[in-house]
């Protein structure tokens, strides 16, 4: 049984990972400043797990607050999610992203060293690959200049972790490169809860189907893809959350290692395919319009998850259709 700090644990992926940690017998402790989440996420976690989560309402860039929490909790491992994550917003406000995402990573590493917490799972992203030359993407694919400041912060944080592990031989880290997480907990008690206008496709689709938004904007229809819209590798958030539990088990057995793992389904779907799948599953006809391309978007990318399948003993079990069905159930419960 591991006591695990989950920074950003009130967020979309973080909160689902808290559920899977609980199910595995670990004891998650959340650190979050709730700048991009709501109390109802904690209420949902209590319904799913049967008890209120342990939460520290702090900013992960605050060294003194982090030091106080580490001294009090005696952690065995850290899963670091806390970061701003909207590609488009990062293009408009790069300094906001550099300060928050990189500083929080540095503070986490400093606290891990100070309190001898030896295991780290880092929430990275497929954006570190930029627009790849060859698909699917493997962990050996070159890291290109990212198309957004958000992607660049993930590259920088990965390098910080690599350098830290190289200097601290007893520590270990797993760099989990997510592709596109979608869906919600099958209970309907937890899901993606964007503050204000959603930045991600599926919550925007769900809110449009629910009548909250007038239409879905499809950013670009002239990409070099089969239907002209961007292609992504969509992975159910529950599958993704389970990978973090597997990564913790891998860390315990691999002292001194720092490895990257692609977490994806291995399949690509276009924006229009996602819209049509949602319409088929829910019976809701979506109003959508073609808009200009969005700054920072990559044309197409999907994963080769073979390394995670083999070394973490993990693979996706849920489909895009499952994810859309669960996302709609969550939307109806809001």
Please answer whether residues 76 and 117 qualify as being in contact, where contact means their C-beta atoms are separated by less than 8 angstroms: yes
Please answer whether residues 124 and 81 qualify as being in contact, where contact means their C-beta atoms are separated by less than 8 angstroms: no
Active site residues: 150
Longest dimension (CA), the chain: 55
N-term to C-term CA, the chain: 33
Read off the tokens for 33.
């400043």
pLDDT at 98: 97
Report the residue count for the chain. 334
- CATH of 3-182+234-264 among 1.20.1200.10, 3.40.50.720, 2.40.420.20, 3.30.43.10: 3.40.50.720
CA angle 215, 219, 222 (to 5 degrees): 130
Tens-level pLDDT at each residue, the chain (334 residues): 899 999 999 999 999 999 999 999 999 999 999 998 999 999 999 999 999 999 999 999 999 999 999 999 999 999 999 999 988 899 999 999 999 999 999 999 999 999 999 999 999 999 999 889 999 999 999 999 888 899 999 999 999 999 999 999 899 999 999 999 999 999 999 999 888 888 899 999 999 999 999 999 999 999 999 999 999 999 999 999 999 999 999 999 999 999 999 999 999 999 999 999 999 999 999 999 999 998 888 999 999 999 999 999 999 999 999 999 999 999 999 8
Q: Which residues contact 208 (CB under 8 A, 6 or more apart)?
A: 214, 215, 216, 286, 287, 288
Domain ranges of the chain: 3-182+234-264
Rounded CA gap, 47 and 190, in Å?
A: 9
pLDDT at 197: 83
Whole-structure pTM value: 0.97
Q: What is the 3-state secondary structure (H, E, C) of the chain?
A: CCEEEEECCCCHHHHHHHHHHHHHCCEEEEECCCCCCCHHHHHHHHHHHCCCCEEECCCCCCHHHHHHHHHHHCCCEEEECCCCCCHHHHHHCHHHHHHHHHHHHHHHHHHHHHCCCCEEEEEEEHHHHCCCCCCCECCCCCCCCCCCHHHHHHHHHHHHHHHHHHHCCCCEEEEEEECEEECECCCCCCECCCCCCCCCHHHHHHHHHCCCCCCEEEECCCCCCCCCCCEECEEEHHHHHHHHHHHHHHHHHCCCCEEEEEECCCCCEEHHHHHHHHHHHHCCCCCEEEECCCCCCCCECCECCHHHHHHCCCCCCCCHHHHHHHHHHHHHHC
φ, ψ of residue 6 to 5 degrees: the values are: -115, 95
pLDDT at 170: 93
**Exposure b/e, 259-279, CB count within 10 A at least 16 = b:** bbbbbbbbbbbbbbbbbebbb
């Amino acid at each position: 049984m591991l006591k695990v700090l989950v920074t950003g644990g009130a967020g979309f992926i973080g909160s689902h990972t808290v559920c899977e940690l609980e199910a595995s017998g670990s004891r998650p402790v959340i650190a979050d400043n709730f700048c991009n989440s709501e109390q109802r996420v904690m209420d949902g976690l209590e319904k799913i797990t049967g008890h209120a989560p342990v939460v520290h309402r702090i900013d992960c860039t605050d060294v003194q607050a982090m030091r106080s929490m580490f001294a009090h909790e005696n952690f065995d491992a850290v899963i670091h999610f806390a970061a701003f994550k909207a590609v488009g917003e990062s293009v408009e406000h790069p300094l906001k992203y550099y300060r928050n995402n990189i500083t929080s990573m540095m503070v986490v590493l400093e606290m891990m060293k100070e309190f001898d917490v030896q295991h780290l799972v880092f929430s990275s992203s497929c954006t570190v690959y930029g627009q790849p030359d060859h698909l699917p993407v493997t962990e050996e694919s070159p890291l290109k200049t990212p198309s957004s400041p958000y992607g660049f912060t993930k590259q920088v944080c990965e390098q910080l972790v690599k350098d830290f592990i190289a200097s601290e031989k007893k520590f270990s880290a797993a760099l989990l490169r997510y592709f596109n997480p979608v869906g919600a907990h099958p209970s309907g008690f937890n899901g993606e809860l964007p503050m204000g206008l959603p930045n991600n496709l599926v919550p925007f689709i769900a809110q449009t189907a629910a009548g909250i938004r007038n239409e879905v904007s499809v950013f670009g229809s002239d990409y070099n893809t089969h239907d002209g819209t961007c292609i992504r590798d969509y992975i159910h958030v529950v599958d993704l959350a389970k990978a973090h539990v597997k990564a913790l088990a891998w860390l315990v057995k691999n002292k001194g290692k720092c490895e990257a793992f692609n977490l994806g389904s291995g399949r690509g779907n276009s924006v229009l395919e996602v819209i049509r799948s949602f319409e088929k599953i829910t019976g809701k006809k979506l109003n959508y319009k073609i808009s200009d391309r969005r700054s920072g978007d990559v044309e197409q990318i999907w994963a080769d998850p073979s390394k995670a399948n083999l070394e973490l003993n993990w693979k996706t079990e849920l489909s895009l259709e499952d994810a859309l069905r669960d996302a709609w159930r969550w939307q109806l419960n809001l």
